[in-house]
Chain A
């Protein structure tokens, strides 16, 4: 029941905030922070359970497992839930300390609904509920982007909002299209059943399911901002207020999470432990032809995204936009590791995901603490008038920049080294490209961050220029905590990489995921009635056509109702009337 509780709390709190007539900022903040802490505890509990080999699973809605709303908290989902809860706490802390939640009464309600959508997307056990939760989190993100104004009080430019919303509307429509295709071909949307069934479909259905899966990959690439679908990201993230932008850094990671799931499904990974099915991983034949196509496409798109992000970072004016460009760099590195590096690549990518998400969000907070003209880098105002920014901010920026660019002592270096060693020459022919692009992008990031740092903190104003007062501790704390993830993950690199490896192993072999879903099924055989749906569907069609014949309907007419499957047609024709 724990996964359902993780969803119910933000949903209930969001509804409560909407219905609460008298806005009392202190109470709202207290409730939201308490809910965040509870969410963190629950996520840790789920992670612990998943790592012990028994992922928590629940089914909501009163229907048995393959039809109800299946929620599975395997190690990957639970790890991202922990990241989400920590990020939400920091974002709430920043919003409360800088009063970013005050101008708009709906901030806390939208924030909780955003958490609801995020958690639901991470826990959803089938593609349709993934679609629904994506809609929830997108709708909440539209609201947050449009209405919540940052400390600097700039509303979102209309064009940015329109582009973000319209692009994502199209993405959602395509998502539904892909879901329809996959269902038409495979007869199921449950992730564990899909993985089991994709490999054994007849050839025409293979093609249809493949088209659906690739369409799904396109939509998830839009959420993750892979290269051809990248242009919406920098403007949107730079326009969002800092707490919202921090949460948005996780939105792209949810797209990456969806791609990992899709990759696992296409490889038949989740179903490896189901009896009677071959285990195609690691490195063996892909279970579905799409797996052979998806890998190269993902690697190419990831490398292109990485390069584009590095160029964008070099061209960015102002800290806010520079940090926004760091997001595609991180996504590109992640996906290159995931698509080319096998289980080790996934482990390295997970380590890198945690640290890059925290540090990017921390840098968004940092940009919020600088004077608006500085953070935006408006022309002619590159230096703050008369004052140097507080030295403590410069130190934070240095730590964050080193962490995100991947300079040796800090966690970004460890993450990139893990990813690069996973795609070492032994593992495939792509390694040279990946090493070149990742390392060149790191160099570009070092250049871009150094230049921005010099312009922000080191501009020769003259020795007499006074330093601005340092922000108070509550204001500084969220940025400090997030950027401290860099040094912290370096000190704890051993346990952290072990954790990432355990999560990666469980994600790739998928046995416990399938077992957790199977436990939800009403009978011992996992979802027996539905796994024979296709065949029984054909029988039904055959039966139905014979009924129609008895009613005096021309047999061919109803036999044609099976749209593209020649088998029932012929069998229906053979049925005696």
Chain B
């Protein structure tokens, strides 16, 4: 069970970092998405892996740690909002600068020193 989860987290984080290094803004957003999935799984694993037990202390002798589940729920919501915003921003920037390159139009109004 752990090796499966560990491999999934590693794969997601590795792919995420690889995509983050791209120069295309859309690819970077995809990388952020994968990275945040990996981190969300890690948060869940932070509460130990307990299989088939409810996250409630009062129901029986064994219980999953409820706190990471609450944390990961919050993190998923935040991650969704941030991804949506980043996608909208990437679209806006691509329209403004005419290309999806994150380095494009750095000094389009002459403000930046060459």
Show the binding face of A for B, using Cβ within 8 Å: 67, 128, 132, 135, 139, 142, 146, 154, 157-163, 165-166, 169-170, 172-173, 176-177, 179-181, 183-184, 235, 238-239, 315, 317, 321, 376, 378-379, 537, 540-541, 543-544, 547, 557-558, 560-563
Contacts and interface: CB of A to CB of B under 8 A. Distances in A.
Nearest to B110: A378
A562 B46 CA distance: 10
B46 A181 contact: yes
22 contacts: A139-B85, A146-B92, A157-B106, A157-B108, A157-B109, A159-B108, A162-B25, A162-B90, A166-B29, A173-B39, A176-B43, A177-B39, A179-B43, A180-B42, A183-B68, A235-B112, A321-B111, A540-B63, A541-B50, A543-B62, A544-B50, A560-B2
Interface string B91-114: 011001100001111111111110
Closest 9 CB pairs of A and B: A158-B93, A184-B46, A544-B62, A159-B106, A180-B43, A180-B46, A158-B96, A183-B46, A180-B42
A315 B48 contact: no
Nearest to A558: B51
A165 B68 contact: no
A557 B48 CA distance: 14
B111 to A, nearest CB: 6
Given A146-B89, A544-B50, A561-B48, A170 B20 contact: yes
A562 B110 CA distance: 57
B11 interface: no
Nearest to B5: A563
Residues of B contacting A: mostly: helix
Contacts of B78: 132, 135, 172
A176 B111 contact: no
B89 A540 contact: no
A223 B45 CA distance: 27
Contacts of B96: 158
A235 B61 CA distance: 56
B1 interface: yes
Looking at A176, A315, A378, A562, the one whose CB has the most chain B CB atoms below 10 A away is: A176
Interface residue tally on B, bucketed by range: 35 or more
Contacts of A154: 109, 111
A166 B29 CA distance: 8
Contacts of B2: 560-561, 563
Contacts of B42: 177, 180-181
B113 A139 contact: no
Given A158-B93, A176-B43, A67 B102 contact: no
Looking at A163, A179, A378, the one whose CB has the most chain B CB atoms below 10 A away is: A179
A376 B111 contact: yes
A135 B78 CA distance: 8
A559 to B, nearest CB: 12
A561 B93 contact: no
Contact of B86 (A169, A184, A379): A169
B8 interface: no
Given A176-B43, A540-B62, A561-B48, A165 B89 contact: yes
B47 to A, nearest CB: 7
Contacts of B108: 157-159
Contacts of A557: 1
Contact of A183 (B20, B47, B86, B113): B47
A172 B82 contact: yes
A379 B67 contact: no
